[in-house]
């Protein structure tokens, strides 16, 4: 899968069908305080999940890095973009590579206002009717990207629901108005995806939000040695490496080890710096950090220039469960 690392042993050929993991949360249970209607004009009557019917829960990166970030999460009855940091042309092209029409996006969740996460929200809302969800400080900070006719609603920390997905936000430490990480729960299966980039440092709300995820998209922005040697001005280096900047490979490895648990089937590293990092370096560093935790799931890294594969969250979780079962002493 695009050079992904499978850390540890996977299912053996001819093995029995993998068992289902115990669910972290009961299927269909709503997060306390979650809103069925996120208050976005026009969303209540919107026909969700248009296009071919999907199975369970999938996640894909449209591209990730300093020049743009967007992540597609699909359930059976909803398609959600987390961030849209590309031009309209690029968003349409990248969605097409995943066989998704732009009009089929049911909601765009905006984590913060920086252009590499929000550049395409205005054109997407106007051209394709995308409803937008973000907290009020982020919406005010995004005003230069909007013209006033877009359908915008709040992104409460207590969560909102769309189709068969429940979305929650957790405050992050980053130099933006009110940045958040996002988790997306597929209620029929209880499987959860966590998306956390631009972290600076892992806050306690983010640690709590991500600890039960079946799939993680997490930042591994830079190698600390490369950052020190980079051509950036010193103040930029301080910002990137500071507690309100970006997560280094070393800190990403430590955080991944903290979050590893038997139900975690896949980790996708994101927001890799082109000057201060590279794919193999990030993968190797995080794999080393995960080794003491006994993690044997998928580990991959998102590219800037092209979409990732679609990752089937249930399938990865089952493969991890099967590997765990095979490793048990007889």
> d(Cα 276, Cα 307) in Å, to the nearest integer?
21
In this model, does residue 39 exceed pLDDT 90? no
- Statement: residue 43 has pLDDT above 90: no
Given a cut of 90, whether residue 260 has pLDDT beyond it is yes
**Positive or negative torsion for Cα 291, 258, 25, 328:** positive
Q: Residue 37: is it exposed, middle or buried by C-beta count within 10 angstroms (0-12/13-18/19+)?
A: exposed
Structure tokens at 326: 């095979």
Lateral strand order in the sheet of 58-63: 152-153, 132-133, 107-109, 79-82, 70-74, 58-63, 311-312
Q: Which helix (H) or strand (E) holds 72?
A: strand 70-74
Compute the average pLDDT of residues 68-93.
98
Across 208-234, average pLDDT: 95
- Per-residue pLDDT, averaged over 159-182, amounts to 96
The helix/strand/coil state of 308 is coil
Per-residue pLDDT, averaged over 21-34, amounts to 38
Out of 32-36, 99-103, 244-248, 304-308, pick the least confident. Answer: 32-36
The pLDDT > 90 percentage for the chain reads 74
- What was the pLDDT predicted at 104? 98
Identify the three-state secondary structure at position 153.
strand
Q: Provide the residue ranges of all domains of the chain, joining segments of one domain with +.
A: 57-327
**Of 12-16, 94-98, 299-303, where does mean pLDDT reach its minimum?**
12-16
Model confidence at 322, pLDDT cuts 50, 70, 90, reads: confident
Q: Residue 11: its pLDDT value, please?
A: 36
Contact criterion met (CB below 8 Å) for 296 and 7: yes
pLDDT at 149 > cutoff 90: no
Average pLDDT, the chain: 87
Compute the average pLDDT of residues 241-253.
91
Burial of 59 (0-12, 13-18, 19+ CB in 10 A): buried
Per the DSSP assignment, residues forming a β-bridge with 313 are none
The pTM of the full predicted model, rounded to 2 decimals, is 0.85
CATH fold for domain 57-327? Metallo-beta-lactamase; Chain A (3.60.15)
CB-side exposure of 25: number of CA atoms within 13 Å?
18
The winner for highest mean pLDDT among 21-25, 82-86, 201-205, 236-240 is 82-86
Rounded to 10 degrees, the C-alpha dihedral 287/291/296/301 comes to -10
């Amino acid at each position: 899968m695009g050079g992904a690392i499978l850390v540890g042993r996977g299912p053996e050929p001819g093995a029995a069908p993998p068992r289902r993991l115990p669910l972290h949360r009961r299927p269909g249970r709503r997060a306390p305080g979650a809103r069925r209607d996120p208050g976005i004009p026009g969303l209540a009557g919107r026909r969700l999940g248009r296009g071919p019917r999907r199975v369970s829960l999938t996640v894909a990166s449209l591209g990730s890095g300093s020049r743009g970030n967007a992540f597609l999460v699909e359930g059976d009855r909803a398609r959600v973009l987390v961030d849209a940091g590309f031009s309209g042309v690029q968003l349409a092209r990248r969605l097409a590579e995943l066989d998704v029409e732009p009009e089929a996006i049911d909601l765009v969740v905006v984590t913060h206002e920086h252009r590499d996460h929000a550049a395409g929200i205005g054109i997407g809302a106007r051209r394709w009717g995308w409803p937008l969800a973000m907290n009020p400080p982020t919406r005010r900070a995004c005003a230069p990207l909007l013209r006033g006719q877009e359908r915008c609603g709040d992104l409460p920390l207590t969560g909102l629901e769309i189709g068969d997905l429940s979305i929650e936000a957790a405050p992050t430490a980053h130099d933006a108005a009110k940045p958040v990480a996002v988790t997306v729960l597929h209620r029929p299966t209880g499987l959860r995806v966590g998306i956390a980039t631009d972290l600076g440092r892992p806050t306690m709300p983010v640690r709590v939000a991500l600890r039960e995820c079946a799939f993680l998209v997490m930042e591994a922005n830079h190698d600390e040695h490369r950052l020190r040697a980079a051509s950036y001005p010193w103040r930029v280096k301080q910002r990137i490496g500071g507690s309100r900047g970006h997560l280094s490979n070393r800190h990403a490895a430590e955080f991944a080890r903290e979050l590893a648990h038997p139900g975690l089937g896949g980790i996708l590293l994101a927001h890799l710096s082109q000057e201060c990092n590279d794919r193999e370096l990030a993968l190797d560093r995080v794999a080393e950090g995960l080794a003491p935790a006994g993690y044997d799931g998928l580990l991959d890294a998102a590219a800037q220039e092209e979409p990732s594969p679609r990752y089937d969250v249930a399938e990865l979780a089952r493969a991890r469960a099967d590997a765990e079962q095979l490793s048990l002493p007889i």
